[in-house]
Amino acid sequence: MWYEKNTVQAQLRHHFPQLADPNTYYGFRFCHQLDFSTSGALCVALNKAAAAQAYRCFKERTVTKAYLALVRGLVKEEIQTLHFSIGKNNSEGKTHMMCIEGTDGCENSKPCQTALTVLEYGLYDGEAVTKVLLQPFTGRTHQLRVHCSAIGHPIVGDFTYSSGADDSPFRMMLHAHLLHIPLDPEPMLVCAGDPFLPSVDAKWLPQRSLRPLKATVDALLEHRMDEQRQVKEMERDRVRQAEEKRANKIRKEESQEQTWRCEEWLREWAGNS
């Protein structure tokens, strides 16, 4: 909002004044958004052409995003996909919140999906928590926060979706860890570290590791790239089939034209005879 002072754009303008563009409202071209309490990778384009390319990738959902989170409790199902539709909450006092379809006050819900993978089990400030990797396949407002809350495992420090109960941590434990944008001719891949380590926050105490972060992210990226290659191959096949169909139609029309001309010549020849 216009009255906010400590914003990302203010920080960017302070650290990189030479990159600010006076022709834009914010001074910078933000290609997507993070919740104010979420840390991590954020894409900011430095010119209009780069912004247009990035916008197109986000719009076509070819961008790969992966988030790290600490969630309350022990998530039993290690790998799962969450399919809760999300809409705006029109209940009194909750209009700043989103909600899942079927709950009181939920309106205009839209389908959305999130893949959840358990990385570690442990304790945060003495309470059971799970470290997870979250991959949103859609981009609904507060999607990850709402989905985690919907399965009974709200994100640690999420004041809003814990009904105001989770107010003790110094931050919400949600971090945009990976951002892959398939720009042409060269894709952009950014990994924004891992803030949920005992060396960073002594209250986080891992107890059992199920899978390493790097290997999990590498497998996610490889799977995503395979999917996109298959989509491109299908598109190439579709274009080739359309061209072949068009060529066959032209050949057929030419053949019909030749047949007609031949028949016309035969009729003329028979008449002359």
Whether residue 60 contacts residue 182, with contact meaning beta carbons closer than 8 Å, is answered with no
Task: Give dist(CA 40, CA 34) in Å, integer.
Answer: 9
CB proximity list for 271: less than 8 A, separation 6 or greater: none
Pinpoint the alpha helices (H) of 76-191: 143-150
> What counts of helices (H) and strands (E) characterise the chain?
4, 13
Active-site residue, 201 included: no
Q: Which residue has the tokens 């399919």?
A: 83
Alpha carbon distances (Å) from 267 to 94, 254, 271? 84, 20, 6
Task: Give dist(CA 78, CA 19) in Å, integer.
Answer: 43
- DSSP assignment letter at 197: S
Please pick, among 21, 35, 194, 201, the residue that the annotation labels catalytic. 35
The count of C-alpha atoms lying within 13 angstroms of the C-alpha of 209, restricted to the half-sphere facing its C-beta, is 9
Catalytically active residues, by annotation: 35
